[in-house]
Amino acid sequence: MRFSLHDILSSRPPPGGVVFDLVCFRNVLIYLGHEVQDLALRSVRRAMRHEGYLCLGEAEWVAPAIATTLSPLAHDTRIFRAY
C-alpha cells in the first residue's frame, strides 16, 4: 500500500505518475461551490485508475459532468467504481 497526496484543484497529475486505486472524500466537496466541485472531481477522476474506487461522505454526490465515468456500487451507498 502506498499513499500519495494530490491537490484536487490542480490540473496536473499526481506526483511520480501515481494512479489511485482508491480515493476517499469525507465531507470535502460540501465546502466547495458547484463549479469547484466539478473541477475537483474531474481532477481526481483523471488521477484514478480504470476500475478504481471513489468513496464520498454521506452529504456528497458526484457531479453530472463526471457521473458518466463512474458507476455506483449500490443504490444506497456513496461508493463508485470508475470505468
* Sequential pLDDT tens for the chain (83 residues): 777 777 788 777 777 777 889 999 888 888 988 888 888 888 888 888 999 999 998 888 887 777 888 898 987 888 999 98
Q: Is 51 exposed, middle or buried (0-12, 13-18, 19+ CB in 10 A)?
A: exposed
pLDDT at res. 39: 86
Q: Please tell me the distance from the alpha carbon of residue 78 to that of residue 5, in angstroms, as a whole number.
A: 22
Number of domains in the chain: 1
Establish if 23 belongs to a structural domain: yes
Cα 26 to chain centroid, rounded:
11
Establish if 12 belongs to a structural domain: no
pLDDT at res. 13: 74
Residue range(s) defining the domain that contains residue 58: 19-82
Q: Check if the beta carbon of residue 41 is closer than 8 Å to that of residue 12.
A: no
